[in-house]
Structure formats: C-alpha cells, structure tokens
Amino acid sequence: MKISQRVPVNLITGFLGAGKTTAIKHLLAQGRGGERWAVLVNEFGKVGIDQSVLAADEVVIREVPGGCLCCTNNLPLQMGLSQLLAKANPSRILIEPTGLGHPARVLELLRESHWRETLDVRATITLVDARELADPRVLEHETFRAQIEAADVLVFSKDDVLTDAERERARAFAADLLPPKSHIHFMANGELPRAWLELPGRAAPLRRSLLHVPMLNVPMQNGPTVVEINEPPYHYSELVGEAAIAGWVFPRDWVFTSSALLNVLFGLHDTLRVKGVFHTDQGWIFFNATRYETAVNSEVPRADNRLEIIAPVALDWARIEQVLLAARVGEVD
C-alpha cells in the first residue's frame, strides 16, 4: 500500500478505570469531517469488551486481546498496525493499551525508522483518576509512573465527581513532576477535545530505564494458571502477575433478567474492574465498575453478551457463573 502522507497516531493511556474507553468513545462520537479513523485496542484479558463498545460508523476497530501491546517484541502491535494500514487506510489511528500496560515500548516502536515515513506520532494523552493519587500503592506502581512519564498531555479525568481536596491533590501532584508537563487539564464525562490530539508528541525518547520494565512488578505465578472452556457459555480464567482475570461470552440470543443480572453484578466485591455488555429484558446495557464507581448505560445491540472481571486474587468463578446463568430469562423464580 502506498501512503501519500503520514497517518497521525495518538497513544491514549492510563491506569485501570481512568476513563480511556469513555474518552475514546466521546472522540468517535464527534464529527470527523468524513475522515476514516482506526482504533487499536489492547485489553488485559481475552474477552474484548471495548471493541464492542467502541463500534461506530467509519471507524475500524482492531483488538489485541490478552497480554499487552507493550511486551518486548511488540509483534501484536506491529501486526495490528500493519493490518489497519493495509485494510482500513485510516486518516488517524488511536492506540489504547491496557490499563496495566507500559507505554514506553509502544512509543519506542512507533518512532522506529520502519514506521517513520508512515506514522506521524502526535501527543500521548495520559488519563488519571485523581482519586487514585491518595493510594500509595498506585503512586509507587511502576506502570502508573511510566504512564505519567510518557504523557505529553496529562488529563485528570472524572472531574465531575472530584472533591475540591482531590483537585488540589491533583494540582500538587502535577506541579511536582519533573520535567514539568506543558499541558495539564481536568476532564469531565470523558469529554476529550479533539484539539488535544493535534498537539505534537515529544521528539526525545523516554528515559532508557523505563523502556523495558515488566508489565507488572511481581513475578508470574507458578502452576496451571489458565482455564478455558470452548463451548457455551465460553469461559476462561487466568492468573497474570498480581491480577486474576475471568471472562465469559454468552450467545447473542441469551437474554438476562435485568434486575437479577444487576443484583449479581452489584454483588461482586473485591474487584479492580468489572466490565460487560448484556442483552436484557429491558434492552442492551453496558456495565462498567471500578474501585470508585459503577455505571450502567443503555447500549446498541451487539454480537453477543460479554463479561470480564479483574481482581487482585482469584474469586469463586464457578459460583459467579452459576448465579449469572440463574439470571437468564426463564431461570429467575
């Protein structure tokens, strides 16, 4: 394929629950002037929720589920980019790494000579939920620090729910960063202005010490860590470093009783993130829960029902599946 001009590309990164998908969805909902955009999404687990949620007209979504775009060989990223450029011929590419992914290696690859004549690397936008700044575990997390380091634009999301004290803590955090960030903003409701995408990316590489750290800062757990079931309901669970993940895919024609399903989902505790798309007797819904908040929104019909849970330790996945199946229409007493 011949590229007549370089394709602008932005990395939109941030920790789990920072609001990356919401912000990208807002960008895609804005008028794009007839441009064809592409989004390369990497989710931590194997059940891709974001690809389904981000679907929009004149937008090509390419998903790299499981693991991380940021691993050392970058083959998933290289393959995903090559396929997007060859098949979609996009006017712009947005890359959303997993919230537990390290951005430095992605940026290093995007600036390699192989891509230099094809891609125009614009601003890296890092989203931060300012409420996380009160948690020392987050502040000390290598991936969180790397995401801050990578930011050309630092955005404190969830401004619509922040307290004055949380905003002040965010400003103090930003003021202490060295080198200082030239673009620091607060954002409410995922309303990321398109103009921020046009800001230039840094010319200098990130500090070399940040380029090859592990995705998670503890060793992989030993023993059999992956369970997969390849018949309905499709299910898998695995342990990856310090996270336990489970996902389910249910057929599209399975309909859940809304009240029973929400009782199950709201009853999940000790999780880092719960995200799912469901066909209910009240219509399709998108469920998204983090440590701080839960949102339930209407959704357009999708190809199937999906759920993914990330937790610090493995939960009773079999029991969760049992109560999910009991929430199907016809199963509820």
Confidence of residue 106 (pLDDT cuts 50, 70, 90): confident
pLDDT tens for 211-248 read 333 333 333 333 334 445 556 688 889 887 678 999 99
Nearest to 187 by CA among 143, 141, 132, 127: 127
Please give the distance of CA 251 from its chain centroid, rounded to a whole number. 24
248, amino acid identity: W
Is pLDDT above 80 for 123? yes
Dihedral, CA of residue 187, residue 189, residue 193 and residue 197, to nearest 10: 80
| Closest alpha carbon to 220 in 103, 78, 107, 68 | 68
Q: What is the pLDDT of residue 225?
A: 46
Residues 311-327 pLDDT 10s = 989 999 999 999 999 99
Q: Assess whether pLDDT exceeds 90 at residue 7.
A: yes
Write down how long the chain is: 333
State residue 3's pLDDT score: 47
pLDDT at 212: 36
Residue 53: per-residue pLDDT: 55
pLDDT computed for residue 47 by the predictor: 57
CATH topology of domain 226-326: Hypothetical Protein Yjia; Chain: A;domain 2 (3.30.1220)
- Report the SS3 class of residue 45: coil
- Give residue for tokens 């599946």: 321
Contact, 22 vs 51, CB < 8 A? no
CA pseudo-torsion sign 140, 142, 147, 149: positive
Higher pLDDT, 3 or 282: 282
Secondary structure of residue 317 in the 3-state scheme: helix
pTM of structure: 0.78
- Would you say residue 44 has pLDDT above 90? no
pLDDT: which is higher, 241 or 298: 298
In whole numbers, what is the pLDDT of the chain averaged over residues? 82
Q: How far apart are CA 188 and CA 159, in angstroms?
A: 5
Measured between alpha carbons, how far is 74 from 311 in angstroms, rounded to an integer?
26
Q: Is the pLDDT of residue 141 over 60?
A: yes
7-210 CATH pick, 1.10.150.20, 3.40.50.300, 3.90.920.10, 1.10.10.10: 3.40.50.300
- Listed by start position, the domains of the chain span 7-210, 226-326
Q: What's residue 86's pLDDT? A: 87
Instruction: Please report the pLDDT score of residue 58 as a whole number.
Output: 60
Structure tokens at 37: 């955009």
Which pLDDT belongs to residue 221?
Answer: 36
Give the mean model confidence (pLDDT) for residues 136-153: 91
Residue 271 has what pLDDT? 93
DSSP 236-253: EEEEETTEEEEEEEE-TT
CA separation for the pair 252, 101 (Å, rounded): 30
DSSP-derived 3-state class of residue 140: coil
